[in-house]
Amino acid sequence: MSEQFNLDAYQRTLDTQVLQHDAHGLVLADTLCYPLGGGQPGDRATLTLADGSQLTVHDTRRDKESRRIVHQLDADAPLLAPGTPLTLTLDWERRYRHMRVHTCLHLLSVVIKAGVTGGNLTADGGRLDFDLPEGMQLEPQAIEQALNELVARDLPVGVKMTSGAALQAQPELIKTMSVTPPLHLPEIRLIEIDGVDLQPCGGTHVARTGEIGRVLVKKIESKGARNKRVVIALVD
């Protein structure tokens, strides 16, 4: 299976065909749909068959055993035979907002220099949880200002590849304390925000920070003696 979202996060439509369809969901030869993972929701999409009929992809998950991407359809959707051609059209507005928020969370991890213990995002905003050093205080207005300054710099965002062994030799690149990257793999994907950040991540991101738009720091919550949750939101 070709995972086109890793090659071009901006691609919106794809001609593909069915590999497998059963009660667990639909597997395609190629897909644009990002599967739930890394705090980013699974994509939604529309499938258009040769006769013009359409099916809705409500969610996308990765099967833990096969590692195939499984598209979740309505329970009463007709089963499609292997080889059935179709066109996949991504719910682009939702995906693009995920890309904006996810990239902004990377910037948040630049502004707050502490280990990340968790995170999540939606089409409206997201949050990161930080393990703060003793005595470190978070000021919402200062964080918001720093975030928007990085957004306004319109920094290029790109992908680099590294090996698990090389990443082990650079542990400072691993900011997330709760999830360890698959260091056994020969290739690991890194997201680079030019001049300010480089970290392993499998999610989808915008090409430049200026695409994020203005963001707000909605709240900061205590989630334990050292753990602070910072919640951000897109203005539009």
Digit-coded pLDDT (tens) for 156-212: 999 988 776 777 767 666 667 556 666 666 678 899 999 999 999 999 999 999 999
Q: What is the pLDDT of residue 180?
A: 63
Conformational region of residue 67, where left means phi above 0, alpha means psi within -120 to 50, and beta covers everything else: left
Q: What is the pLDDT of residue 51?
A: 97
Q: What is the pLDDT of residue 225?
A: 75
Q: What is the pLDDT of residue 184?
A: 64
CA angle 140/203/142 to nearest 5° reads 10
CA angle 39/154/236 to nearest 5° reads 60
**pTM for this predicted structure:** 0.92
Q: What is the DSSP string of the chain?
A: -EEHHHH-TT--EEEEEEEEEETTEEEESEE-PPPSBTTBPPP-EEEEETTS-EEEE-EEEE-TTT--EEEE--TTPPPPPTT-EEEEEE-HHHHHHHHHHHHHHHHHHHHS-SEEEEEEE-SSEEEEEEEPPTT----HHHHHHHHHHHHHTT-BEEEEEE-HHHHHT-GGG--BSS----TTSS-EEEEEETTTEEEE--S---SBGGGG--EEEEEEEE-SSSEEEEEEEE--
Residues of the chain with pLDDT under 70: 1, 164, 169, 171-175, 177-186
| Strand-pair category, 227-234 with 215-222 | antiparallel
Residue 152 identity = A
